[in-house]
A and B are shown apart, each in its own frame.
Chain A
Amino acid sequence: MSQKIHIRSASASNRVRPLAATQKYHRIFTPGEEVIKAAQTHFVRGHGTYEEGGDLKASVAGVKEQVNKLVSVRPLKSRYNGQVGEVLVGRILEVQQKRWKVDTNSRLDSALLLSSVNLPGGELRRRSAEDQHMMREYLQEGDLISAEVQSVFTDGTLSLHTRSLKYGKLGQGILIKVFPSLVKKCKLHFCTLPFGVSLILGNNGYIWISPTSNNVEGDEGGFIQNLEEVIPKDIREAMARVRNSILALAQNYMMLFDTSIIFAYEESLKYSVHELLLPETMVDLAVLTQQKLSMMEDYEFIN
């Protein structure tokens, strides 16, 4: 018998939860709970709250946030709420007259207008009727793209743009979906990891893992992908390892950003790639990463 058999008890109670990252205490409000009493009348109602009988009550389970008079309650997990300038990964759902409908894990489907993409042949080019007929040539249903939020329409629909060479159609790689709240908001959402893997951490919880490409992109506007290129096996393995490490972190509700992913990758090297999918390994990985992160924080604190 060559295959290893893993046996574990059915009850989840004996599994170790990862260490708490901080000892900070936060008051948690649950739906229907009073946030501010009627006596204190100076407040402005924010998200996650409602007014009843003059009192301000929470409508979601989360923590209170106050900016001057504006009081809101933020849930720790929810659908993606887009803000201008955030990086997204999305999937084309529909090709319409002048726009593409994109699934971005938001509460309404997002729109990518034909006028806000870079078409082949220069930035400043008139969009003719021919371009409208050619739309399916650029992006068709099921294609994955990376984009940025350009604006938010009044009904909450996001309008995207790909007016930069770093955005556009995605070629070979792996997509993972995690809860949007787990992706940390950073300056850089495009990271190149040191082991030949590139990441796009979409703010909407879609994460794209791809091999690092070293060829300089031309003026095709990111619409032509080389699907013939063969990715070497070691890079593929590194990609799979990154995927499983990210899943382990997400399973244990740890924040995802470049450092935490690199740490998790380094800690995962003692396991084989497929072992990383076992629940015990996932917890172990999360605990080790957590420790490494807190050690780094302490180090930064001393200096």
Chain B
Amino acid sequence: MSRNRELISKIGLRLDGRRPDELRRIRCKMGVFSQPDGSAYIEQGLTKVLAAVYGPHQVRSRQKAQHDACIINTQFSMAVFSTNERKKRPRGDRKSTEMSMHLQQALLSVIETDLYPWSQIDVYVEVLHADGGIYPACVNAATLAVIDAGIPIKEYVCACTASLGNNEVPMLDVSHQEEILGGPTLTVAALPMSGKIVLMEMSQRFHLDHLPKVLNKALEGCKDVKAILDEAVKNHVSEIGSATGWANTTS
């Protein structure tokens, strides 16, 4: 780990030319597939993720079915070509299983599961290109796909990473390059409107004094992401609505 290399230059720019509090470019698209009930594609910088949602549908295995809530089944996988070194297996290893569980936790916190007894919702997430911030991109893509599927959620769940540059300046949305140069990465999944934190994870240590400002920065990032997703959702819905002529709406 080369601590001596500066993550933020003297004029206050990062390695890829961003300022410390800037996100990478987010581009997203909903309804990319016709087979699943909901689907979404998101690009955060060079990180590219596809998500598909099936359901709610009848639980296939009888033992898991719940009489008062639906179960959420998530599967995280990374395409074998998504990283620099070709991956051996796209899913099923320890890291993917952990990611799936974290994704499930994030979704369980927002989806109104009690509306769908005896049902199941499947969420499949596939990373096409990994360039830092995989988990946040997956959460954001899954949120969009769930909204596209018309499944009721309390509010958006968004995720973002933050780091500490030059041991003092909090940086938002860490790229892969910055990750390997050795900044500590804090991943936060949050409900931006109510300010609740769903998941928080640290990759390395930094002094406790720095935590509040880095955490605040990450939460700000979540809010920014939410604003971008919200606009995309509104555009998408009004596009579908005007194509169908608002046919099934009464007002």
Contacts and interface: CB of A to CB of B under 8 A. Distances in A.
A82 interface: no
Given A28-B234, A59-B152, A253-B240, A107 B246 contact: no
A20 B240 CA distance: 9
B62 to A, nearest CB: 12
Interface in B105-146: 110, 112, 116-119
Interface stretch (B18-26, B53-61, B198-206): B53-61
B244 A253 contact: yes
Given A60-B147, A107-B57, A181 B244 contact: yes
Interface in B149-192: 149-156
Contacts of A32: 153-156, 193
A50 B156 contact: no
Contacts of B31: 77
Interface string B38-61: 100000000000000001111000
Contacts of B58: 107-109
Contacts, number: 135
A261 interface: no
A21 B55 contact: no
Provide the main secondary structure of the chain A interface. Answer: loop
Given A31-B156, A65-B249, A77-B240, A108 B118 contact: yes
B113 to A, nearest CB: 12
A250 interface: yes
A74 B112 contact: no
Contact of A30 (B150, B234, B247, B251): B234
Contacts of A165: none
Given A62-B237, A79-B56, A107-B55, A22 B242 contact: yes
Given A28-B234, A79-B56, A181-B244, A50 B154 contact: yes
B249 A30 contact: no
26 contacts: A17-B239, A22-B245, A28-B233, A30-B147, A30-B230, A31-B110, A31-B147, A31-B152, A31-B153, A32-B193, A48-B152, A59-B153, A61-B150, A63-B251, A65-B250, A66-B251, A76-B237, A77-B240, A79-B149, A107-B56, A108-B57, A108-B119, A156-B117, A181-B248, A251-B34, A254-B244
Given A66-B251, A76-B241, A253-B240, 10 more contacts: A26-B251, A28-B233, A30-B237, A32-B156, A63-B241, A74-B248, A77-B240, A78-B150, A108-B118, A255-B244
Interface of B: 31, 34, 37-38, 55-58, 110, 112, 116-119, 147-156, 193, 230, 233-234, 237-251
Q: Which 4 A-B pairs have the closest CB atoms?
A: A78-B150, A32-B155, A21-B245, A75-B150
